Structures are given as C-alpha cells and as structure tokens.
Amino acid sequence: MYLKNMLVYSPDHHFHPSDIEISDGIIHQVIPSGKSSDECRYYVIPGLVDIHFHGCMGVDLCDGDPDSLRTMAEYEASQGVTTICPASMTMSPEELHGIMKNAGEYEEKSGAHFAGINMEGPFISRKKKGAQAEKNIIPCDIGLFRQLQVEARGRIRLVDIAPEEPGAMEFIDEMKAEVTISIAHTDADYDVAVEAFKRGARHVTHLCNAMPPLYHREPGVIGAAADMGAYVEMICDGIHIHPSMVRAMFKLFTAEKICLISDSMRAAGLQDGQYTLGGQEVTVKGSLATLSDGTIAGSVTNLMACMKNAVKNMGISLEDAVRCASENPAKAIGIYDRCGSIEAGKQADMVLMDRDMNVVEVMVGGKIYQTGSNKKSVF
C-alpha cells in the first residue's frame, strides 16, 4: 500500500510532504514526495497513545471483563487513539486480582493495540486521594504488586505511588527495573520527590492534579520533576488545568517531556447522567464529571479531543501537541520501538486529518479503521 502526497509528521517533529509505503502492517519506508506543503490536502500523524484513561462508552478497565476492553479498544481507535494503556483504580486487592487476570488474558481482535496497564493506586496518599476510594488505600506492597504482575502476564507498564508513604522508597528501590514508577496522588514535598526520582521513579501522573501546587518557596513534585527530567502527564480537557498553566508547563518541561492523557472515565462518548468510577457514583454534566462531594472524577473526553483542545484553545503548536500525544507516551512506557512515530520498521498506525484537525480516517496495523460509514477510503 502506498500513501501519496501527504503532509507527514516526521520524527524530527515537523510536517514534510511525503509518500509512505506499507507492507504487512509495517511502515516500509517514508519518501519525500517533492511536492509543496500547499499541494498536500491532508496531515498524517502517528496514531495517538493514551497511557492513562479508565474507560469509555459505558465500560471501564475495572469491570474485569474482556468485552469491556474490546469496547474500549474499538472506541479509542475510532477517535485516532491506536495504542492504549488503560488505568485501574484504587480497588481492594481481591478486585485487583480479577482486573489484572482479565487484562493478562485479553487478546487483541479489533481496535487499538493493547499495550498494558497503568496501575493507579492503591499505593497512594489519603490526603491527595482525589476520586480514589480511601477505604482501599494501602502502603506499597512489593509482594502484592509482583503477584498482580504475574496475573497480568507482565502487562503492568506503570505503577503509581505516593513516595512519602511508608515503604514507598523501598518499593522504588526494588521495582524500578521491572516497571515504570510514577509519582501520583501525593503530598510529597520537593526533597522527598527528588529522592524518589534519584532512586528510580521517572514519571508523574496527571501533573498539577492531586498534588501540592508549584509555590515559590515550596516547589513540590512539580519543581522536582522539572529538575530531575521526569516525564509528566497532563489532562488538556479544559477542566483539569487552566490554559495558562498548560502553557507554563510546556515552557517549564518543554514538549520533550510532556505526555498528554485523557484520564477519561466510562461516560466518555456518552450523554450526561449518572455513572461510576472505582465503585463511586459520578455525575456527568457537559464536560464535568464529579463525585457527590464535588471532586473532579476523571474526564469525559478522549486523547484526540484533548490534543485538539491544546492546539485550538491553549496556544500549543500542532507539532508539539502531536509529539506529546504519540511519541512521548510511547517512550514513557517503553514501546517507542513499535509505535509513536511514522518511520520504517514501525507499526502502520496513523491518523489522517484535514487542515482543521478533523479525523478523516484511522489506520491500525496497516488496516483501515473506518471512522464513518459509506465512504471511500482516502488512505
């Protein structure tokens, strides 16, 4: 298959008029087309990689149901998210066993590639629990984590912890070579966070949310992450972080270290109403999802919509937003060798967009994933 005269997002983080040759679901080569940018009608970007979302279309990873994972994979692919690493919640150990076993047994049949699991909780801080269930919060437990990882068949890619809690530093020492450790739902100060990064943590979960703010005498986790070069997640749905703060974080961390995420819950793709997240009741009105006490409970959007919002309403360049929604998340969980960019040898996961950033068509593994009905493929 050949894609001709496309404005292709390249590994140098710029768009270039190019042709793409695909064979057996893999990108064979990307060749300059010799055309001008004005002669190319469509953008082609790497399929997006969401490393932190809980659910969509009425289902959730914590359902522990293979049909839920398939529904999630199919919806995400329809939106241009071609690789997923859904997140669990702070559930009881008994529930986590079922969740991880289900994820470990999941077989891809359609939709987005399943890259693994983001284990968000239960090793977090009660003080910064956010929408996590406090009754299920426990100290870091190496034995429990290893058992869950066996049940997940090695698919846990990220584990989120509060480094100030008992046993957290020892957990980092022991597990840093086996999984990406992310600082999350934490009340850690700058010094504690720096120590966690020095020991081997290298990621921050939903930056600015469920952590102390950046303050000039107490820079906290945000300041520590910037100094130590960690990857940081950001939810650009327009609810979780003010656009000015998004711009400030892009200046502080640069587009090299930011991973855009959706943090969506099961209401994503559906209408307003009552839903659940981690066993807790959630009310959705418009773009806002809240617990009964008003706590924000994830988002109701998807990563493609967050990327567009960052560009159209937050002043982030398209080139930077694409990098932060594809390459960086793939690097953060160690799968950049197969996805996250358009270059020879990688999976042919791509999104065709018009000049207004509307998704025209999605390709997953070299196969067209139709985003509409009764239309001729553009790819």
Residue 263 bears catalytic tag? yes
How many residues comprise the chain?
379
The rounded distance, in Å, linking the Cα atoms of 286 and 288 is: 6
Going from the C-alpha of 273 to that of each of 58, 287, 290, 299, the distances in angstroms are 11, 12, 11, 14
Q: Write down the catalytic residue from 60, 160, 237, 263.
A: 263
3 state SS for 229-258:
CCEEEEECCCCCCCHHHHHHHHHHHCCCCE
Query: For helices 142-151 and 168-175, what crossing angle results, to 10°?
Result: 40
Token look-up 């080139």 returns 319
What are the residues whose beta carbons fall under 8 Å from the beta carbon of 118, sequence distance 6 or more? 51, 52, 85, 86, 87, 88, 157, 158, 160, 182
User: 56 pairs with which residues across the strands?
Assistant: 59
User: 30 pairs with which residues across the strands?
Assistant: 20
Give the dihedral sign, CA 85/89/90/96: negative
Write out the catalytic residue numbers. 263
